[in-house]
Amino acid sequence: MTDTAAIEVLADVHRGVGRILLNRPKALNALTTGMVAAIDRVLAAWEHTPLSAVVLASTSTKAFCAGGDIRTIREHSLAGDAEASERFFASEYRLNARIAEYPVPVVSLIDGVCMGGGLGLSIHGSFRVVTERAVLAMPETGIGFFPDVGASYFLPRLPGAIGMYLGLTGHQLDAADALYTGLATHFVAADGLEAVGDALADSPDDPVDVVLNRLAGRSPVAQSALAEVRADVDRAFGAPSLGEIDKRLRHLGTPWAQVASAALESASPQSLEITHALLAQGRQRTLRECLAAELALTRTTIRTPDFLEGVRAALVDKDRTPHWQRASLDGRTPPA
């Protein structure tokens, strides 16, 4: 592991509990190839260590992990270095699969932002603990990319059409919504998060679920805004095509539907098409099949004008005004 990766990923075993801390706070723990490789190596080494659980957390209260270091991927694409991008995505997806198949429970402590690659690290583990500061999203269609890290496996398996809604619009979930959808499994207040590792170590023979329930604060799930619009989500985003989704949203005309429509209108039309097809197919694929399909898609997508432009607008120049190759899904120019 490089010196940088060693500093950006801290790992130890404490009383039978493995602890991995993401420690790149200034970049909101955006994952580099080195960080992914470091986490993977630690988990591989621990497979032969008698552990009761592995806890994955962050040294920052602002972010668990804001995703993959997409700015660097864009730089690789501009430099024509396809190999470097391939290395990143292949190692990231290999890590996602390792977490999903890990022999002991992986417990992610999500405090602050958890997007894209952050969900890839957490969602494939058995337990995802959120605090009141948690914000979860898969915002890739807004940068000319698509929901990856196994999202084509886990999004279609959320209740109803929630996964399609989240994948296409990049809608941000708070703790209540994360618990309602099942993306999160437990709620622990931020000031109680430090106690999780010790509690697991104190009760190695108790099921992790029982230990986390002992620590859990009052769940905010009853305040889920997504639950209130669930029927409309299923009606609109359960439509068989993007055009029909758009039509149903316009027909609903509610404040929620208008926000969802605006999100689709501002996203990359290319990304929406890729995402819709990918999520529709993902329901019948295994996780490894989904990851393989996503890896194949990265090779072409990261070279497209929409990806280069989307990342420029969101993360490089930060002007938030991407100019997509096509004006909108059906070729209409969106209203000014």
C-alpha 332/C-alpha 330 separation (Å) is 6
Catalytic residue (one of 148, 177, 232, 309): 148
Per annotation, catalytic residue among 18, 34, 67, 117? 117
Burial 116-134 (b: 16+ CB within 10 A, else e): bbbbbbbbbbbbbbbbebb
What does DSSP assign to residue 217? -
246 and 239 in contact (C-beta within 8 Å)?
no
* Catalytic residue (choose from 111, 140, 174, 294): 140
Closest CA to 316 of 88, 144, 119, 120: 144
Specify whether 150 is catalytic. Answer: no
Query: Which residues does 139 contact at the CB level (< 8 Å), separation at least 6?
Result: 115, 116, 170, 172
Question: Which of 34, 67, 68, 197 is the catalytic position?
Answer: 68
CB 210 within 8 A of CB 202: no
Cβ atoms within 10 Å of 78's Cβ, excluding its own: 12
The verdict on whether 117 is a catalytic residue reads yes
Are the beta carbons of 47 and 103 closer than 8 angstroms?
A: yes
Here the tokens at position 125 are 């583990």
Burial letters 222-261, b for 16+ CB under 10 A, else e: eebebbebbebbbbbbebeebeebbebbeebeeebbeebb
Signed CA dihedral, 254, 258, 259, 264: sign only: positive
- 121, 93 Cβ separation under 8 angstroms: no
- 148 given a catalytic annotation: yes
User: Does 3 qualify as catalytic in the annotation?
Assistant: no
Residues annotated catalytic, as ranges? 68, 117, 140, 148
